[in-house]
Structure 1
Amino acid sequence: MANQEITSPSDLRILSLNCWGLKFISKLRNERLTEIGNQIAAAKPPPEIVGLQECWTKQDYEAIREKTKHLLPYGKFYYSGIFGGGLVILSKWPIEESNMVRYPLNGRPAAFYRGDWFVGKGVAHARIRMGPKKSDIAEVFCTHLHAPYEAEPFDSYICHRTAQAWEITKLMRGAAERGHLVIGLGDFNMIPLSLAHRIIETHSPVQDVWRILYPGSSVGAAKDKVEQLRGVPMPNAEFNLTQNGATCDSALNTWRWNKAHSQRLAKGENVQIATTVDDPNAKRLDYIFFSSGQHYDAASGERTAEWTLKDTNVGMTMRHPTLHCSLSDHFSVEATLVRDLNGPTSDVNTGTAAPPDRYLPIETYDEILATIKKYDTRERIQRRLRLGHFGFQLLFTIGCLIGVWWSPYNYVSFILMLLSSLSLSVGVIDGLMGGLFVGSELRALKEFQWEVENTRSRALANGVKEA
């Protein structure tokens, strides 16, 4: 499609969904992701930019593309890590440029049963040309931050998720400074107003679309202390969908049901849950952030924003037509942006306006630095333990080989040789993780620490007071 055939859009429909497409692990994966493609194609109004997470296989990507290519003719499946990043961007308009930016702090290889490090989590970025003018560019950032495996502040990966939020914030801020429409979407694995959430909204000009329209919405699951302190009544499932924007752990999502309901569903029974049921576990982990392209009019001296938010909603709540299961263990978050066609879309006598610098409270930077220091200490201890374990296994291997000389029986020699081989293998793996991986992670921590300290210094210089 040539640029001259494209007209500047007056509105933009966006959809983000975690597909739960883990190969060999996610149940009914092929059937669900194919139906996700069907439902995206049938959506009203139709989405024009779609970001998917946990779409791990090219097969599932192609299945969704086949269903949606008439609506979203442009798409990119992003490759990353050992098993793939699981990120996809689909678009109504051409993708001019694309890249995959991996996070420097990205989980630990020793936690192979969690897989975050092996999939190479990062940011999928697409520069989309929506029309012929310079202002018709949207920069889309799709991501899936590191999962929390314990509640904050006890989550040992909180430093990773904080650093990842910092990284995507830099990318979105750079796009905003170029004067482009910025769209950040994905499964951020954070609750509203958490540290990662505040970093994103403070250090880049993007805004959480749900909190624009629902500023009093929940900041966690109803059972969580952070939400109980607000003193709000127990929400039902419908309220969580329509007012709190809960996309995860909903009582209406079949993958979160108890064993009894799941067994009935597995037998083919179309179990129904009333929308009025109490919903203590539902929370919002999926987000759409956006920042309008801001321009400076030299004639009037005014800064103008082209795009504004019209509406947002939780979607993809329907169930598979024959299997009766939810299409994913998450629901989608969707939004519509509208454009001021009387604004400076012609780019005549206008230039981009850099967003003003904003800062978090100084104590928040101190909190981040304390988190970095705590994790740095942990990793240094881990490195010593792993290298010590390598030394022990090496000595044990040598001992087994010496023992072979004095062995009176062949089967004893075989056992000693087997033990020496296994011992050396385990020791070398641990030594490599301690000497190479942990060393790399400590260097990434130093970079993150410097950036936070530098930003803290600038905040003080710009008048932010210490508590």
Structure 2
Amino acid sequence: MADTQPPSSLRILSLNCWGLKYLAKLRNERLTEIGNQIAAADPPPDIVGLQECWTQQDYNAIRERTQHLLPYGKFYYSGIFGGGLVILSRWPIEESSMMRYPLNGRPAAFYRGDWFVGKGVACARIRMGPTRRDIAEVFCTHLHAPYETEPFDSYLCHRTAQAWEIAKLMRGAAERGHLVIGLGDFNMVPLSLAHRIIETHSPVRDVWRMLHPNSSVGAAKDKVEKLRGLPMPSAEFNLTTNGATCDSALNSWRWNEAHKKRLAKGENVAIKPSVPDPNAKRLDYIFFSSGSHYSAAAGESTAEWTLKDANVGMTMRHPTLYCSLSDHFSVEATLTRSTSEPSSAVDNGPWALPETYLPIEIYDEILATVSAYVARERNQRRLRMGHFGFQFIVTIGCLIAIWWSPHNYVSFILMFISSLGLSIGVLEGLMGGLFVGSELRALREFEWEIRNTKARAIANRDKASAYDTS
């Protein structure tokens, strides 16, 4: 049963489980143990967000082990193969929805899979007590994976648009006066464009940078980190200070082949926490915004929640297989309720948030990225439609050639070529005519929003300048 009293503290956990069906090694054993470790966590979590939990079987295994601790849960369905998102809670989930991102990869990149899983935001409205003040809105997501480094990542436009969409959702929740929790694998490094969009266009803050404002903004081997002139961090330093959740030297799935072979033989390989760790970076986040309410008695707003601590967790190994439980570590945080004012004394009306903006040149950068991607996709559409037309002509030619075919095997080859070519051409035509058209329309919507926000930012800047000179 859920607790009936509103909580005075809130423990949050987010983990990418690496549960790719058929592809992730030792999937069943690892995700079962993830359930065991969530159930044994101290302090116990109150809200858990999971990513890459793709199958109902794995979800059920985790639920079975955490049911006593987190009696409420939701497995989110999306796309062709599922979104891989899960939210578990100590309290009832009043409302739930799965919002798919309008820009979400390309079906032609079937070997990457982002489009096929229908990536989006799992939204849950969780009631922790009897009043409107006791509501948390949780947003669990997994943004499009980067396949090249920024700014050369061909999917940068998609991830930027996805960050914009989740920022809008979290801002709306904050304007309702609720506690907002955004968590997941954002596939971005701190202070990247997507990171700045989220923290600027919604009131949420990255809990790790709240506690560690000078923590790394990438892997130690990256140019952006080398320019800071800091010494090579150890694996332990990356965990405790930089908040690295991915590519850690302590994660068995990132080891070299020699270590992996020893592990495969059943050896419990020990890695010293002091080893240099040039590849580790932070891709997993918890963002939060305290519910703001207006007190008629005090005549001022009050912040409901404050951040107490944050840490990287789930670093333990499987007890018998000795492998890490996932290729990511978890990020965890504790929030405490800072006000002792009774709920009845608070007017839970709408709360207007101040407008905040990125520098104008950043909006220009986003628009330039969109423009370049639109040009690329229009060219792709022409090529794909041209390929369809070419294959159609080849098919007609092969069918005509069969009339003069001297042998049956030649006829068979011509029929095979025509059928295969037409099939490929039809797929190309569908992607060029349907998918790319849909993507271009989504890009137009995103472009309009950026231009509209840029105009407001310019007006706000001009107004501030006029005020300063008056």
Q: Which residue of 2 aligns with 1:282?
A: 280
Among 329, 334, 337, the alignment partner of 2:335 is: 337
Residues 28-43 of structure 1 aligned to structure 2 (within 5 Å): 28-43=26-41
- Provide closer, same or farther for how the CA distance between residues 377 and 92 of structure 1 changes in structure 2, counting only shifts above 3 A: same
Aligned-pair Cα RMSD in Å: 1.2
Give 1:21 shift.
Answer: 0.1
Q: Which residue of 1 aligns with 2:69?
A: 71
Give 1:298 shift.
Answer: 2.8
Aligned mates of 2:218, 2:346 — CA distance in 1: 45
Residues 310-321 of structure 1 aligned to structure 2 (within 5 Å): 310-321=308-319
Among 76, 100, 104, the alignment partner of 1:106 is: 104
Residues 333-412 of structure 1 aligned to structure 2 (within 5 Å): 333-343=331-341, 345-346=343-344, 348-412=346-410
Question: SS of the counterpart of 2:335?
Answer: strand
Q: Which residue of 2 aligns with 1:199?
A: 197
Residues 99-153 of structure 1: per-residue CA shift (max 9 Å, x gap):
0000000000000000000000000000000011110000000000000000000
Question: SS of the counterpart of 1:336?
Answer: strand
Among 84, 87, 97, the alignment partner of 2:85 is: 87
Question: SS of the counterpart of 2:35?
Answer: helix
Give 1:344 shift.
Answer: 5.8
Q: Which residue of 1 aligns with 2:57?
A: 59
- 8 A contact 2:294–2:346 mirrored in 1: no
- 8 A contact 1:37–1:65 mirrored in 2: yes
Q: Which amino acid aligns with 2:118?
A: G
Aligned mates of 2:45, 2:372 — CA distance in 1: 43
Q: Which residue of 2 aligns with 1:127?
A: 125
Aligned mates of 2:27, 2:406 — CA distance in 1: 56
- 8 A contact 2:297–2:345 mirrored in 1: no
Aligned mates of 1:62, 1:197 — CA distance in 2: 33
Residues 3-55 of structure 1: per-residue CA shift (max 9 Å, x gap):
xx611100000000000000000000000000000000000000000000000
Among 421, 424, 441, the alignment partner of 2:422 is: 424
- 8 A contact 2:132–2:348 mirrored in 1: no
Q: TM-score, normalization: structure 2?
A: 0.97
Give 1:351 shift.
Answer: 2.7
Residues 262-309 of structure 1: per-residue CA shift (max 9 Å, x gap):
011001011010000000000000000000000122333312101000
Q: Which residue of 1 aligns with 2:7?
A: 9
Q: How many residues align?
A: 464
Q: Which residue of 2 aligns with 1:221?
A: 219
Question: SS of the counterpart of 2:98?
Answer: strand
Aligned: 1:230 with 2:228? yes
Among 291, 294, 297, the alignment partner of 1:296 is: 294
Unmatched segments (≥5 aa) in structure 2: 466-470
Aligned mates of 2:299, 2:450 — CA distance in 1: 33
- Provide closer, same or farther for how the CA distance between residues 177 and 349 of structure 1 changes in structure 2, counting only shifts above 3 A: closer
- 8 A contact 1:183–1:288 mirrored in 2: yes
- 8 A contact 1:299–1:349 mirrored in 2: no
Q: Which amino acid aligns with 1:130?
A: M
Aligned mates of 1:156, 1:333 — CA distance in 2: 28
- 8 A contact 2:303–2:339 mirrored in 1: no
- 8 A contact 1:389–1:427 mirrored in 2: yes
Unmatched segments (≥5 aa) in structure 1: none
Question: SS of the counterpart of 1:351?
Answer: coil
Aligned mates of 2:341, 2:411 — CA distance in 1: 83
Give 1:327 shift.
Answer: 0.1
Q: Which residue of 1 aligns with 2:238?
A: 240
Residues 210-229 of structure 1: per-residue CA shift (max 9 Å, x gap):
00000000000000001111
Q: Which residue of 2 aligns with 1:178?
A: 176
Among 123, 138, 141, the alignment partner of 1:140 is: 138
Aligned mates of 2:439, 2:176 — CA distance in 1: 31
Q: Which amino acid aligns with 1:397?
A: T
Question: SS of the counterpart of 2:38?
Answer: helix
- 8 A contact 1:133–1:347 mirrored in 2: no
Aligned mates of 1:303, 1:71 — CA distance in 2: 34
- Provide closer, same or farther for how the CA distance between residues 50 and 432 of structure 1 changes in structure 2, counting only shifts above 3 A: same
Q: Which residue of 1 aligns with 2:258?
A: 260
Question: SS of the counterpart of 1:128?
Answer: strand
Aligned mates of 2:344, 2:254 — CA distance in 1: 49
- 8 A contact 1:304–1:343 mirrored in 2: no
- 8 A contact 2:313–2:331 mirrored in 1: yes
Give 1:350 shift.
Answer: 4.7
Q: Which amino acid aligns with 1:329?
A: D
Q: Which amino acid aligns with 1:408?
A: P
- 8 A contact 1:103–1:123 mirrored in 2: yes
- Provide closer, same or farther for how the CA distance between residues 344 and 216 of structure 1 changes in structure 2, counting only shifts above 3 A: farther
Q: Which residue of 1 aligns with 2:188?
A: 190
Q: Which residue of 1 aligns with 2:454?
A: 456
Aligned mates of 2:345, 2:287 — CA distance in 1: 24
Q: Which amino acid aligns with 2:6?
A: S
Q: Which residue of 1 aligns with 2:270?
A: 272
Aligned mates of 1:196, 1:462 — CA distance in 2: 22
Aligned mates of 2:183, 2:203 — CA distance in 1: 14
Aligned mates of 2:395, 2:261 — CA distance in 1: 50
Aligned mates of 2:376, 2:347 — CA distance in 1: 54
Q: Which residue of 1 aligns with 2:305?
A: 307
- 8 A contact 1:179–1:354 mirrored in 2: no
Deviates more, 1:10-19 or 1:348-357: 348-357
Q: Which amino acid aligns with 2:104?
A: N
Q: Which residue of 2 aligns with 1:154?
A: 152
- 8 A contact 1:49–1:89 mirrored in 2: yes
Aligned mates of 1:171, 1:444 — CA distance in 2: 17
Give 1:347 shift.
Answer: 5.2
Aligned mates of 1:299, 1:318 — CA distance in 2: 49
- 8 A contact 1:134–1:347 mirrored in 2: no
Q: Which amino acid aligns with 2:436?
A: V
Q: Which residue of 1 aligns with 2:468?
A: none
